[in-house]
Structure 1
Amino acid sequence: MRRPSSRVARVAYYVLMLAASFLMLYPIIWMVFSSFKPTNTVFSTAGELVPRQWTLANYVNGFKGFSGVPFWRFLLNSLFISVVSTIGTVLSSAIVAYALSRLRFRLRKLLFVLVLGTMMLPAQVLLVPQYLWYQKLGWTNSYLPLIVPYWFAIQGFFVYLFMSFMDDIPRSLDEAAKLDGCSYYGIFFRVIMPLLKPAIVTATIFSFMWRWDDFLSALMYVSDTEWYPASLALKLFTDPGTTSDYGAMIAMCCVSLVPSILIFAVFQKQLVQGASSSGLKG
């Protein structure tokens, strides 16, 4: 029979976890409810969670967009950038990780250290050199700076993630594939990649969410309004020179959260498996 003290401790634990979860989720809950408030009452009633008057005007005005460009166009721009960049990130990082984990060549350890070193380099340090470089290439005001670099395994985190998985795959599988006539490319695509599913899902989720939320890169390289991703288009709702439609901005923020939430919900099991298998959990 369970002792009363143990039961009380268990109840107290769940109550504490629910309270902490509510505190973490409250900003999102507030944003969702505020998106249904009239735009002129969003901040005057900020202390009230439930709207006094419910309205869909914020969503209607938000989807109208700007300069004849509807907001769904900005969402499609974000989707294109995120999907293409994520494919490049996952594929290139897996290839580099395969070379560092499975192949033996000179300076391999030095290259691995350099890859890890990129994780310690603040991205802000590279902003000016990268902009000058892309400007010389004629890539400004295009999606190229937002997509092309990620096809060259520039994020050491994902390389390390894939290496952690590959190191746990028995090398006997490689030897068996070689005896069957597989080349290094055949081993990678037919043997290694199918076993990397948890890591691929984990990398895909993180990469997609990071690219979807990327504001600074789009601000630097995209200047035409019709090519704005959603993260950059949201700032158009606030104009210090005229009036700002905060209700529409909050409504479109809620819409912009949907893809990330859906991806996390669908692949939550694989994400947890990938994080636990790679040692990302504390």
Structure 2
Amino acid sequence: MKAKNIKKLLYHVLVGGFAILILYPVIWLVMSSFKRSNQIFVTAESLLPSPFILGNYAQGWEGFGDYGFSTFIGNTLVFVLFVLVGHLISCSLIAFGFARLKFVGRSFWFAIMIMTLMLPYEVIMIPQYIIFAKLGWLDSLKPLVVPAYFGHPFFIFLLVQFIRTIPRELDEAATIDGCNTFGIYRRIILPLLVPALATTSIFTFYWTWDNLLGPVLYLNSPSKYTVSMALNMFLSNESVSNWGAMFAMSVVSLIPVFIIFFIFQRYVVDGISTSGLKG
């Protein structure tokens, strides 16, 4: 028993040490948000701020010009909401088609979709920009939101794998009861797809909330800026960068991410583990 307790102690010490090592950058970010901007990198080896100030948060929350940081958070929430709805609707429908419907070239088109996962965004960035410019969609959320309603290959693959674990006997029973194809999707598949949809929602939230390249390409008006763009505005090549305010608002922007993770972390694990049970 003593040897077993020693192993447990060593295990927890080792895991705790790795956790501290991984979380140290976040801890340093939080502590630095309470330092003066001119002291953050000068006293980088000192974790605790001296003196301890709250002015960075007040200054950062004021934002830029007529737009407070709350405006940027609101823009990002709207952006995330529209993309999230688009991914849930389009990816679940497309995944249902690949997993349950039989049509000519199904395997071919599924393989093509999987191949698009290997395409870097930089490959399609310029053609997409030209298309959206000709449509007159620049300086709006349309180029960032509309593509979400045409599916995302990663989430489609995830949902297809999950749907394949659902017995087809449920579809047959629903057909006998009078359900059509869409009825099977809405009444049978969709309720059972909740864990995978939760995983899709969480990853969509993370990736959209942190997205910087897309908004930088298509948004020009400060009133439409997202959180990631607002954080970048604290840096300046011509004058002194306001690191304190940027770090403070970085901490604020991390709060929704941590809240979502701690509330829905069980769904992330369940959705990913269950989606890989059947190929």
TM category, shorter: over 0.9
The separation in 1 between residues aligned to 2:187 and 2:229, in whole angstroms, is 40
| 1:270 paired residue number | 267
| 1:251 paired residue number | 248
Aligned AA (2:275): S
The separation in 1 between residues aligned to 2:57 and 2:85, in whole angstroms, is 31
| 1:12 paired residue number | 10
The separation in 2 between residues aligned to 1:32 and 1:197, in whole angstroms, is 35
TM-fit CA distance, 1:7: 3.2
Aligned AA (1:35): S
The separation in 1 between residues aligned to 2:119 and 2:237, in whole angstroms, is 35
The separation in 1 between residues aligned to 2:188 and 2:108, in whole angstroms, is 27
Residue among 227, 230, 236 paired with 1:239? 236
Q: Give the RMSD, CA atoms, in angstroms.
A: 1.2
The separation in 2 between residues aligned to 1:253 and 1:59, in whole angstroms, is 10
Aligned AA (1:26): Y
Q: Deviations over 1:84-142 (max 9, x none)?
A: 10110121011000001000110111111011111111111111111111111111111
TM-fit CA distance, 1:72: 0.6
Q: Deviations over 1:239-270 (max 9, x none)?
A: 11122211000000001111111111111111
TM-fit CA distance, 1:3: 5.0
Identity %: 41
| 1:132 paired residue number | 130
1:190 corresponds to 2:195: no
TM-score, length basis structure 2: 0.96
Aligned AA (1:140): L
Residue among 55, 69, 94 paired with 2:67? 69
| 1:55 paired residue number | 53
TM-fit CA distance, 1:279: 2.5
Please identify runs of 4+ aligned residues in structure 1 that moved more than 6 A: none
Q: How does 1:1-282 map to 2 (within 5 A)?
A: 2-4=1-3, 6-153=4-151, 155-279=152-276
The separation in 1 between residues aligned to 2:156 and 2:94, in whole angstroms, is 7
TM-fit CA distance, 1:8: 2.8
The separation in 2 between residues aligned to 1:250 and 1:128, in whole angstroms, is 32
Local SS of the residue matching 2:178: coil
| Corresponding pairs, count | 277
The separation in 1 between residues aligned to 2:40 and 2:141, in whole angstroms, is 35
The separation in 2 between residues aligned to 1:111 and 1:241, in whole angstroms, is 50
The separation in 2 between residues aligned to 1:135 and 1:59, in whole angstroms, is 37
The separation in 2 between residues aligned to 1:224 and 1:17, in whole angstroms, is 46
TM-fit CA distance, 1:19: 1.0
TM-fit CA distance, 1:39: 2.3
The separation in 2 between residues aligned to 1:40 and 1:277, in whole angstroms, is 49
Unaligned runs of 5+ in 2: none
The separation in 2 between residues aligned to 1:3 and 1:36, in whole angstroms, is 45
Aligned AA (2:262): A
Local SS of the residue matching 1:240: coil
Q: Deviations over 1:192-246 (max 9, x none)?
A: 0000111010000001110000000111110111100001111111111122211
Local SS of the residue matching 2:166: coil
